[in-house]
Structure 1
Amino acid sequence: MKHIDKLPPIILIALFALLTMVSCKNVDDPFVPRVVSPVLVAIDGTAPGDFATEPTISYTKTGNVVLSARILELDKTNLLDYKKGIDSLPVANTKITITLRNTGAVVAELTTDAKGKISVEKTWLALGLSAPVSGNSIPLNWSGSYKGQSFTRLSRASVK
């Protein structure tokens, strides 16, 4: 290595380029691989615009649980036009299955109406709670498929 200064510059450049290419490594993403949902599942009773968290809707322990949502497709055609922006279009005639996340049991199988709405009313017993106590919560999955791509939205129903 004491004669490295006598090597032609082209060899040094080639050696540097080779070492640079060899040192680059394709690293897998450490996070769970996800695909962007083809639709927006806006669960009624949750904070508007809260689509990044798992929403929890609270119900009284004596009443029934009304699970309802709107299924929307985001039309991004006018994304760069600040006067128009992104449009939310209702998704009609799409089958949505609500399941209990703990057991996988089907709570309801629904089809969206022309406005993209679905709604079902269930008792606490039907959701797996025979004696609801304040603080109990039931994790739910809202699943379906749109334009050949499946999607799932998570939520919780809790006892007030």
Structure 2
Amino acid sequence: MTDMIHITCPACQAKNRIPAAKLGAKPSCGACKAALFPDAPFELDEAGLNRHLKTDELPLLVDFWAPWCGPCRAMAPMFAQASREMAPAVRFAKLDTEQHQAVGSRFQIRGIPLIILFDHGREVARQAGAMNAGQITGWVRQHLKA
């Protein structure tokens, strides 16, 4: 029997079941046909984050940032590069803490940029401060092994 993985579509939030063996084949959403693993980190709002944490069976790395934050803007291309290197094993998303302040409070965010790694809906690790792509991928691999 083929292992099925549940993944939430970053575009329409529909729940998808994908055979684990086909994750690397650039699967698309059954509802809206959008890529389930886009070429860049996808934007989340609070409802989207809740949905991904509730249903996704793959690790999710979220960059909590704000448009006025210089280090956040500087880290954005590095985060995107790390996303391309780690897909489809890890999904990468961004959440604007300026627009979604309740999320910042809920996760007790004291400084940005802040990345939080979630696995099966629970927080695994967090790291504040800008990092380059190699540091991001190394940090994720280190915490997923634990």
**TM-score interval for Structure 1 and Structure 2 normalised by the shorter chain:** under 0.3
Structure with bigger gyration radius: 1
TM superposition score normalised by structure 1: 0.21
TM superposition score normalised by structure 2: 0.23
More strand by share: 1
